Structure 1
Amino acid sequence: MSSQSSLPNMLGPSPTGDIDRPDPASPPKRKREPARMVYPRKRALRACEACRRRKIKCDNQRPSCGACLELEIECNIGNTKNDRSTYDSASLEILERLEYAVGLLEASRDTPFTLPVQITSPAELHASPATAQHHTTPRSIAWSDDNAKGDVEILRESLEIAGRTSQVSEDILAWPIFQNRFDRSLTESLMFDRHQRCNKEDISPTVIADAVRTAIPGRGIREEDVPFLINKFLVNVHIKNPIVDSDDIKRKGRMTTEHGFGWDASSCLVGIVCALASISSQFTAEPVIPALVDGPNAITSVTNTPEYSTAESYYVASQKRIGLLEDSIITTQCHFLTGVYEMYSLRPLKAWASFNRACMSLQMCLRGQPRRSKSLERKLYWACLKSECEIRMEIDLPPSGLAKVNYPDAFPSPPATSPVPPGAPHGNLTSSGPSTAFATQHAEPDAELIWCYYVSEIAARKIGNRIMNCFYEQDESTWLTMPLPRMIRIAEELDLQLTQWFANLPEVLSPSSGDHQAHPVKEELKFMLHPRLLDFRERIYRPFLYVCLSHTPSDPIQDNISPYAQRHVQTCTNALLRGTPRHRHHGTWYENRGMFLKSLLLIAAVKSRKVHVADIWRKGVQFCIAGFKFWEEEAPDLQQARFIVETLLADLGRTGSLGLATE
């Protein structure tokens, strides 16, 4: 029997006896639509535990099946977390694809790209662009692929600065427009050897004593001053790096007042806290102006810090104890605050060593000890990471590896609701110290305000790292090979992120409306955030200035590059016109370095005559020089920076380039 005759006649026999022969009089059949993918639904087959034990059919009703409802017993279907028997094929396929994508992300996170460690001499660290060895990184490969995937690779998140830190202030001196006029190694040697001072006449270093910080006698170490100093620390220093518990440090201070300084970790922590309190002062937004540092009544940062000698005494006492401590959270706090003090006293190399030890100590704590205070760990983690990145943006130093610790929290957690209303005093610290009025006039700041500032700083640092990893993994010669349309696209995206960060600051930190220069923000935390906007925007558009200076004025590329180079010049001018604050804080050395860098960039733009620079730029550079004069007694590298800027200004005056640059 043929297969055709075995088929049933579903329509019944026709009058002619033929099977399924179409009737000519009947209307034509509708055309069959093309088959579409249909996922068959699968009925749930999992019975509850009671029905399985009784071996009866379960109707799978929820929250209780019919049998359990009739018996009035609990209906338990067991662990259904990984049970997919109730999923249809479409859902299963979607889950499979999601699991694959998550696997790729976790694989890329768990196997980060690392650069090979090479031990090189100082001369090799700063080889010329023609001879320097460049590493090929994922981002440098992505620059060659002009597509969305490449953009994502370039802009990807990073907690640390990858590779060698390029384009620090001394790197600008190597730009062709300066014609190797200055030896960058001299400024760097003054950073690495703080007991040298530049002689302006012959540029030869002469040995000076570190006693400059102890020239003015102070109160010295007094246990009865500790409560007052702790309160001063909480107001002046803690607000920017809240890595200690306020109540805990007060308790440790009371113990020290009663029993004196011991050789334990608590005494070490109290000692460095007192050092920071002694060197710090109430915030003032006033910049250093030329009239302040010129003439017979000129003042310097040392004469402006009356308790510098006392601060050094507490600092030395804490350093005698810190080497005896084992890895712990309190040891990490001691190392970190030591680094903060060394930044307050303009010792960046010592600060890097302290921050590095803090990072290493914290890694040991996170890996090897039970986690007791997660909130404190979060703050320490981000404080250490942020401080390390900041210093590596100015000095080419190796990372600690803390960024590779897979820490789960994107930001520190917000503080618990404070029982004390904002603006009310937090606690009562009495003291027989130098000024009991301080404790009553300056209440401990609100914890929520501190947290808002801290999180805003971390968010800005993430954008800053993204900028560094986009444009600064290699030296400036790579900017000339980057596709210009893509450079513009990436720069505008980074600028948008930066603008959104600044526009969406918490209300308590948002800048006041109006001109920032005409109405400077008085509150310290607000004042500290505005330079972040200018510093990172300058870094976004610096490559465009370099490309502009590297091409002739008649080159067609100038039409496309000029608006972005102009944006860079305007950012530098705005930053310089803010001046260098006379207020001492963690970022004082960074501010002076930033002023030096922006002065060099503006002078390069003026000298090139390829970018329009408003005449007010000279006032900004004079503010920069005044800042150097104020702070250079503590930092010889700033004195050398002043000599370089003054020499370049004199050269411009001789060549007649001090006027407006041609448009």
Structure 2
Amino acid sequence: MGPGRDNDTVAGEHPAAKRPRTTAVRSAYPRRRAVVACQLCRMRKTKCDNRRPSCGTCTSLQFQCVYQDASTDFSSFDAASLAILDRVNYAIRLLEQHPAHRTGTIDSPNSPQRRQDAQNVLEESEANMAVTASPKDNDFRTTEYTFLSEAQQLQANCASSRILQWPLFRDICNMNDADALFFNPAYSDSSIRRTTTSSSRGIREEDVPSLIEDFLENVHTKNPILDPNELRNSCRHISEDGFQWDGPSCLILIACALGTVSRPFSLEPPSPQDASRFDAHDHATGESYYIAARKRIGLLDSSIVAIQCSFLIGVYEMYLMRPLRAWLSFNRACTYFQTYLLASSLSQPVEQSSEAIRSRLYWSCLKSDCEMREEIPLPPTGLAKVEHSDAFPSPPVSVPNADTESQTEPMETLDASSERSWYYYLSEIASRRIMNRITATLHPQNPEEWANTPVHHLQRIAEELDTQVAQWVDSLPPSSRLSFDNPADELSYVLRARYLDLRDRIWRPFLYLAAHSSPQSPNLLMYAQNANICLDMICKQVQHCFIRHRHHGSWLAARGFYTKGLLVLLAAKSHNIAMPSDWESVIETCIAGLRYWEDEAPDLRAARLTLEHIYQLVNPAVPAF
């Protein structure tokens, strides 16, 4: 659909056969061909024709063409020159640092301590924490964090309540009705009181091992921020010594709470009489573990364990449809993370295993914060200003197999379940990056700006982003791609929903333009054709949803029903767009999804009533709800 991409590979130059005297030196420090592509072509990994002031690709896409300053472009340097420059820059940084920040020993140029020593304050971390990366990596990371920074300011524009401000809906409903209930802390407190008054088995140490395994099977697969072996070791210590008032006990308690309320993925649809409260028969026991964990979280210093506990408490609160409390916990985890980074920059070098855990925590905290802010206009976390992590977190390395005495198999690799979990986690991070680009480039502060953008320009941007989504799907591992069309497990189901949501966001501007254009508009045909792509993505996602499965994103999925229902009703109300034959069943499914969860989240009940009200206005033949 979008412009094609060239898969160019830069091949190393072979030394000439007539000059054997220099062969050894050249093989030790192979020279690389200069890379002079503009920043857009580097990001898209396409061949740049290097025209000035604007290359052919940027001219066709009507993007501003930017070339890297030659004074900072080291891409044409050979390995020896880069090594010398790296060491010289490192020495300069050591001399410029305050004496109190020096450790007395010189670390290797690639050590985590070197990056941490360069971080004197969190606000300067974006420049300092990338000093050991190659120029190509720096370009990639700077581009991605630019998209993240811009998207952070625009994420709330994609919220369902903002659609009620669009002209066709502006005088029908008040966009603040559902959001007012979200910010009402009373319903979270009443939910806790209602749950704790139910029957509970209480905290029993003999239940801990089985609950930990349930947590690892049902929850940890989506956010692998813990070391399962360390978690099981802590579990054994608690079985021997009981719960203490420390970090490991707090982590075990919140993991047990999640293990109690989580369930395996189920394809069973709910009946019209079903509601989420009937699925909450054991939530009172989960609350017992949760309350015990919250009593300990305030006693923890800023550490990896404290960040893990705060994040998992937020995950638990999302499981029980308490999004405001969940956001506060995620925000606490982000604050702990920033404080921990500042403290660790003044301490000893960080072990490689701890660095890997930090990278996973960074992405999980940042992803959760972005997802919450796409639905509710909440203050952004400062963690987005910290370019802490590399492109992707590293999977856990192989560990020695203590049960194997044979020397032929000294290492134990990840099992199939853990490997699949990691493929999913990395795919989610990649999709988050694409979503940031979509938000930053296609969703302005005021949707009326879409009408002021040249239609062909908007079309080319949408096609380019759509191509990136297709490439993301092509990069999925075979195990996920094979079950993508008919997902039978939770991870494939979420990835498929993510794909449909990405494409919905890409083509949503055309749905707005088609719905609000006059029948005489010369662009109406193009608008309507692209709007049908958006409607197709919405219908596919709603028709293949599993309403009753409780997970980390259940509240977000329910708010997604609200958003997608409003978009379908917008198209039907405009009479400018050819509607799918089953659009009414899509609306009814959205209403059923909101009704299933509304007992636990009053803002979802307000969303359901709003959707029903608009549905009856658009289609008066529908019986009153």
What is the TM-score of this pair, normalised by structure 1?
0.68
1:334 to 309, 324, 329: 309
Greater C-alpha Rg? 1
Cα contact 1:195–1:210 (8 A) shared by 2 = no
The gaps in structure 1 that reach 5 residues or longer are 1-59, 65-76, 85-95, 104-152, 198-206, 421-442, 659-663
What corresponds to 2:72 in structure 1?
100
What corresponds to 2:436 in structure 1?
465
Amino-acid identity (%): 40
What corresponds to 1:590 in structure 2?
556
Residues 274 and 175 (structure 1), Cα distance of their counterparts in 2 relative to 1, 3 Å cut: same
- 1:602 aligned to 2:593? no
Residues 155 and 563 (structure 1), Cα distance of their counterparts in 2 relative to 1, 3 Å cut: farther
- 1:187 aligned to 2:178? yes
Q: Could you list the per-position Cα deviations for residues 150-190 of structure 1 after superposition, in whole angstroms to 9, with x for gaps in the alignment?
A: xxx99986335231421310011111112421112221111
- 1:401 aligned to 2:376? no
- 1:537 partner amino acid: R
- 1:351 aligned to 2:351? no
Deviation, 1:444, is 8.2
Deviation, 1:310, is 0.6
Residues 553 and 215 (structure 1), Cα distance of their counterparts in 2 relative to 1, 3 Å cut: farther
What corresponds to 1:474 in structure 2?
445
- 2:582 partner amino acid: I
SS class of match (1:175): coil
Q: Could you list the per-position Cα deviations for residues 456-500 of structure 1 after superposition, in whole angstroms to 9, with x for gaps in the alignment?
A: 000011001111111224121211111211110000111111111
1:615 and 1:267 mapped to 2: Cα distance? 55
2:282 to 278, 300, 307: 307
Cα contact 1:280–1:584 (8 A) shared by 2 = yes
What corresponds to 1:267 in structure 2?
249
2:504 and 2:172 mapped to 1: Cα distance? 24
Cα contact 1:167–1:476 (8 A) shared by 2 = no
Q: Could you list the per-position Cα deviations for residues 39-61 of structure 1 after superposition, in whole angstroms to 9, with x for gaps in the alignment?
A: xxxxxxxxxxxxxxxxxxxxx96
What corresponds to 1:620 in structure 2?
586
1:522 and 1:169 mapped to 2: Cα distance? 29
Residues 209 and 526 (structure 1), Cα distance of their counterparts in 2 relative to 1, 3 Å cut: closer
Cα contact 2:483–2:492 (8 A) shared by 1 = no
1:313 and 1:445 mapped to 2: Cα distance? 33
SS class of match (2:148): coil
- 1:212 aligned to 2:194? yes
1:282-297 pair list within 5 angstroms: 282-288=264-270, 292-293=271-272
Deviation, 1:532, is 0.4
1:532 to 498, 502, 509: 498
What corresponds to 2:152 in structure 1?
162
1:505 to 470, 473, 476: 476
What corresponds to 1:389 in structure 2?
370
What corresponds to 1:375 in structure 2?
356
What corresponds to 2:259 in structure 1?
277
2:552 and 2:471 mapped to 1: Cα distance? 26
- 1:214 partner amino acid: T
What corresponds to 2:298 in structure 1?
323
Q: Could you list the per-position Cα deviations for residues 165-220 of structure 1 after superposition, in whole angstroms to 9, with x for gaps in the alignment?
A: 213100111111124211122211111114359xxxxxxxxx95643333541311
- 2:196 partner amino acid: T
1:176 to 145, 164, 167: 167
- 2:157 partner amino acid: S
Moved over 6 A (4+): 153-156
Residues 334 and 405 (structure 1), Cα distance of their counterparts in 2 relative to 1, 3 Å cut: same
Deviation, 1:99, is 4.2
- 2:438 partner amino acid: I
Deviation, 1:419, is 7.5
SS class of match (1:396): coil
Cα contact 2:195–2:283 (8 A) shared by 1 = yes
Residues 388 and 378 (structure 1), Cα distance of their counterparts in 2 relative to 1, 3 Å cut: same
2:509 and 2:327 mapped to 1: Cα distance? 28
1:102 and 1:478 mapped to 2: Cα distance? 39
- 2:601 partner amino acid: A
Deviation, 1:600, is 0.4
- 1:257 partner amino acid: S
1:471 and 1:269 mapped to 2: Cα distance? 40
What corresponds to 2:393 in structure 1?
412
Residues 254 and 208 (structure 1), Cα distance of their counterparts in 2 relative to 1, 3 Å cut: closer
1:611 and 1:412 mapped to 2: Cα distance? 43
Residues 548 and 271 (structure 1), Cα distance of their counterparts in 2 relative to 1, 3 Å cut: same
Q: Could you list the per-position Cα deviations for residues 569-589 of structure 1 after superposition, in whole angstroms to 9, with x for gaps in the alignment?
A: 221222221234311101111
Larger relative helix fraction: 2
1:314 and 1:444 mapped to 2: Cα distance? 29
Residues 236 and 444 (structure 1), Cα distance of their counterparts in 2 relative to 1, 3 Å cut: farther
What corresponds to 1:581 in structure 2?
547
What corresponds to 1:36 in structure 2?
none
1:361 and 1:444 mapped to 2: Cα distance? 32
Q: Could you list the per-position Cα deviations for residues 228-250 of structure 1 after superposition, in whole angstroms to 9, with x for gaps in the alignment?
A: 11111000000000001001111
1:166 and 1:541 mapped to 2: Cα distance? 15
SS class of match (2:180): helix
SS class of match (2:73): helix
SS class of match (2:478): coil
Cα contact 1:580–1:591 (8 A) shared by 2 = no
Q: How many residues align?
A: 483
SS class of match (1:363): helix
2:508 and 2:619 mapped to 1: Cα distance? 25
Residues 641 and 457 (structure 1), Cα distance of their counterparts in 2 relative to 1, 3 Å cut: same
1:452 and 1:418 mapped to 2: Cα distance? 19
- 1:176 partner amino acid: P
- 1:233 partner amino acid: F
278-287 or 317-326, which deviates more: 278-287
Cα contact 2:253–2:290 (8 A) shared by 1 = yes
What corresponds to 2:600 in structure 1?
634
What is the TM-score of this pair, normalised by structure 2?
0.72
Residues 187 and 444 (structure 1), Cα distance of their counterparts in 2 relative to 1, 3 Å cut: farther
Cα contact 1:606–1:657 (8 A) shared by 2 = no
Q: Could you list the per-position Cα deviations for residues 609-645 of structure 1 after superposition, in whole angstroms to 9, with x for gaps in the alignment?
A: 1001112011111111111221111110111111111
